[in-house]
């Protein structure tokens, strides 16, 4: 192979020189292309490495930024949690401060009420005495000379026809405005007044408690409330409200729902410690243990302690309904549905009650015609807390929308319990209307115990209530030494008062600021209450307001009547004896008509 180093220019031929030149040109172009290719390759390799390095750097920078963003996010989340915790702590401190403020306010209010009871009650009684002194005053018994002490002739004739002894009756008749009574027959002897004793209880309540007094029923809680679930106890504390019933309980449940309570996991405690009533046999009075009028009082009274059962035909079969069930009462339906008319033995089924321990069994038996309407049975079978507990479980899901996982407990309210809601009863002026018009024994008992608790402190008892009533009557100048109240309802064999003192009480009430409330609570002759069917064919119809009473061996009536002369008369009749209840009514009505005619009835009326 020829090279430029081995061949000189002189030794070469012209032809060879041409070949060498071409060969050299080819080598130069090859070297040039190779050099260019190498330069381009080197540039591409450097660019690729630089791009890879830049990509790795960008990736590392992006990773670092993501980590920083994640750290910032976690930091902000922690800050939000801290702020939320601070807000919750502030809210809890505010709630505790508010509860403390309310507790202190209630304590100061109670202290203020005690001071008012201690210092202002005598002032109020002096004001009442001043108002009473403005009206007509009755002359003392020692100065009542020349008073008529013989029964009217027509009344004496009725007693003779009915073969009733007049000596067992006390009568007091007074025209308001006179100092001497029109008639005073055996008026100073103490007799059993029956339900007329409710006049003493209700009028004393108006003066001792006030016409606008309302009974509270309080609901407390212990434990914690999270997510609508109360993990703790719910406490009901009663203060003797006579009218707390199922609608009131459902109102309480709705208020608890508004407080955020949907579910309860714990205990439901019922506190009746405001009254301390001795346990007695409810049937000791007349052997009817489950009769509604024999129901015993309770501080946490519910629905008058009445278990109400309704029997009605549904698709040809008798069904039993009870709006206020109790978990310790079992109902057995053995009623046989029959056809035919609704009369005789098919008119109403038979109800029997048996007890074993704390459990009661109510059995309905007999025949019931498919043509009959509904039949109502009201009995005082169990206590109020049992009825309340079962009613809560029955209506909680419907009214609140949650669940109850609770146990039934009767006990006292814990000291650290927090107040959730306070339910107020109807005012006293409305309650006494039910007591006097419908002669509600249980409400009268509740009122007497409340007077004792409010004036002499809780827990109250019948003796404490009687003592408080006597103290208040004495502060008004009404001294009744023979007065024996016992339970405030008159459903007693031992309660005593004289016809004259009932008349003095009615005169004092007539001249008091509470006259309208007291008179409106009495039944109107031939219109409503216990005398809606009495005096229908008498001139007294619509003109008299009375309170009646009757026991096995007693009949009584007392109140006001507007006479033919436009003046008001006070009539008080207390009649004891075996035949008083069955045969004394006509004579009593005749006495009231005699007062209406001012002791001088027309001849036509007298001869009728």
pLDDT in tens, 363-417: 999 999 999 999 999 999 999 999 999 999 999 999 999 999 999 999 999 999 9
* CATH value at residue 272: 3.50.80.20
| 242 and 173 inside one domain | no
Give tens-digit pLDDT for 514-547.
Answer: 999 999 999 999 999 999 999 999 999 999 999 9
* Total count of domains within the chain: 3
Same domain, 362 and 498: no
pLDDT under 70 in the chain at which residues? 1-31, 41-47, 109, 112-146, 599-608
Please tell me whether residues 192 and 221 are part of one structural domain: no
Can you give the pLDDT at residue 301? 97
Identify the pLDDT of residue 146. 61
Same domain (yes/no): 603, 528:
yes
Q: Which domain-ending residue is among 424, 448, 483?
A: 424
CA distances from 534 to 4, 197, 445, 537 (A): 161, 20, 27, 8
Residue 265 and residue 409 in one domain: yes
Give the bridge partners for 337, in sequence order.
Answer: 368
pLDDT at residue 163, as a whole number: 85
Please tell me whether residues 249 and 202 are part of one structural domain. no
Decide if 79 is inside a domain: no
Residue 555 located in a structural domain: yes
Query: Same domain for 262 and 364?
Result: no
Q: How far apart are CA 374 and CA 105, in angstroms?
A: 51
DSSP state for residue 323 in the 8-state scheme: S
Name the DSSP class of 368.
Answer: E
Asked if 250 and 397 touch (Cβ cutoff 8 Å), the reply is: no
Structural domain includes residue 343: yes
Pair (489, 441) in one structural domain: yes
- Taking alpha carbons only, the member of 220, 301, 225, 217 closest to residue 251 is 217
**Mean pLDDT of the residues in the chain:** 87
Q: Is residue 335 part of a domain?
A: yes
Whether residue 105 is contained in a domain is answered as no
Which residues fall within 8 angstroms of residue 120, CB to CB, at 6 or more apart?
Answer: none
Residues 6 or more apart whose Cβ sits within 8 Å of residue 302:
244, 245, 249, 324, 384, 385, 387, 388, 391
Is 185 among the domain residues?
yes
200 and 235 fall within a common domain: no
Q: Which of 384, 98, 428, 101 is nearest to 238 (CA)?
A: 384
pLDDT of 49: 72
Per the structure, the complete domain to which residue 375 belongs is given by 307-379
Residue at 323 is within a domain: yes
| CATH of residue 598 | 3.40.710.10
Q: Verify that 466 and 591 share a domain, yes or no.
A: yes
Q: Are residues 594 and 498 in the same domain?
A: yes
DSSP letters, 121-163, are HHHHHHHHHHHHHHS--PPPGGG--S---S--HHHHHHHHHHT
The reply to whether 156 falls in a domain is yes
Domain boundary among 424, 454, 482: 424
Q: What is the pLDDT of residue 131?
A: 44
Asked if 251 and 365 sit in the same domain, the reply is no
Of 347, 379, 411, which residue sits at a domain end?
A: 379
């Amino acid at each position: 192979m020829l090279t430029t180093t081995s061949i000189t220019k002189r030794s070469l031929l012209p032809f060879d020189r041409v070949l060498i030149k071409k060969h050299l040109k080819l080598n130069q172009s090859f070297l040039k292309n190779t050099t260019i290719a190498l330069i381009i390759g080197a540039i591409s390799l450097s660019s690729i490495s630089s791009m890879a390095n830049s990509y790795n750097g960008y990736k590392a920078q992006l990773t670092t930024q993501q980590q920083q963003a994640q750290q910032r996010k976690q930091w902000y989340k922690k800050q939000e949690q801290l702020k939320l915790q601070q807000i919750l702590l502030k809210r809890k401190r505010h709630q505790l401060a508010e509860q403390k403020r309310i507790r202190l306010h209630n304590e100061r209010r109670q202290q203020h009420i005690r001071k008012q009871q201690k210092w202002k009650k005598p002032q109020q009684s002096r004001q009442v005495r001043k108002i009473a002194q403005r009206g007509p005053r009755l002359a003392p018994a020692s100065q009542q000379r020349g008073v008529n002490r013989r029964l009217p002739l027509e009344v004496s004739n009725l007693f003779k026809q009915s073969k009733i002894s007049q000596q067992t009756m006390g009568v007091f008749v007074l025209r308001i405005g006179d100092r001497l009574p029109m008639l005073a027959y055996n008026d100073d002897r103490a007799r059993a007044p029956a339900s007329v004793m409710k006049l003493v209880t209700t009028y004393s309540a108006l003066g001792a408690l006030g016409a606008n007094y309302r009974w509270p029923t309080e609901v407390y809680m212990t434990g914690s409330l999270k997510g609508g679930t109360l993990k703790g106890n719910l406490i009901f504390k009663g203060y003797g409200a006579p009218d707390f019933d199922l609608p009131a309980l459902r109102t309480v449940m709705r208020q608890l729902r508004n407080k955020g309570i949907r579910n309860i996991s714990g205990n439901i405690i019922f506190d009746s410690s405001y009254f301390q009533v001795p346990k007695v046999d409810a049937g000791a009075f007349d052997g009817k243990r489950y009769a509604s009028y024999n129901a015993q009082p309770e501080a946490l009274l519910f629905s008058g302690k009445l278990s109400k059962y309704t029997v009605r035909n549904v698709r040809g079969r008798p069904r039993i309904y009870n709006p206020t069930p109790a978990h310790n009462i079992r109902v057995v339906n053995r009623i046989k549905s029959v056809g035919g008319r609704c009369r005789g033995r098919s008119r109403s089924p038979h109800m029997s009650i048996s007890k074993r321990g704390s459990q009661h069994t109510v059995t309905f038996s007999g025949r019931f015609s498919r043509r009959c309407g509904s039949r109502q049975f009201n009995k005082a079978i169990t206590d109020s807390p049992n009825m309340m507990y079962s009613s809560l479980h029955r209506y909680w899901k419907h009214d609140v929308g949650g669940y109850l996982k609770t146990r039934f407990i009767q006990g006292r309210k814990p000291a650290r319990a927090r107040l959730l809601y306070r339910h107020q009863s109807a005012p006293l002026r409305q309650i006494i209307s039910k007591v006097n018009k419908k002669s509600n024994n249980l409400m009268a008992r509740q009122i007497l115990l409340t007077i004792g608790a409010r004036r002499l402190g809780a827990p109250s008892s019948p003796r404490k209530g009687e003592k408080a009533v006597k103290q208040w009557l004495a502060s008004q100048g009404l001294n009744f030494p023979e007065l024996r109240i016992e339970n405030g309802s008159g459903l007693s064999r031992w309660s005593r008062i004289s016809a004259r003192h009932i008349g003095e009480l009615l005169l004092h009430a007539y001249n008091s600021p509470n006259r309208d409330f007291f008179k409106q609570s009495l039944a109107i002759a031939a219109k409503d209450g216990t005398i809606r069917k009495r005096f229908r064919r008498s001139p007294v119809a619509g003109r008299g307001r009375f309170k009646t009473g009757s026991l096995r061996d007693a009949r009584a009536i007392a109140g006001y009547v507007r006479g033919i002369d436009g003046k008001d008369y006070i009539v008080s009749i207390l009649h004891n004896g075996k035949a008083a209840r069955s045969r004394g009514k006509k004579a009593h009505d005749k006495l009231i008509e005699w007062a209406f005619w001012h002791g001088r009835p027309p001849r036509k009326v007298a001869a009728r």
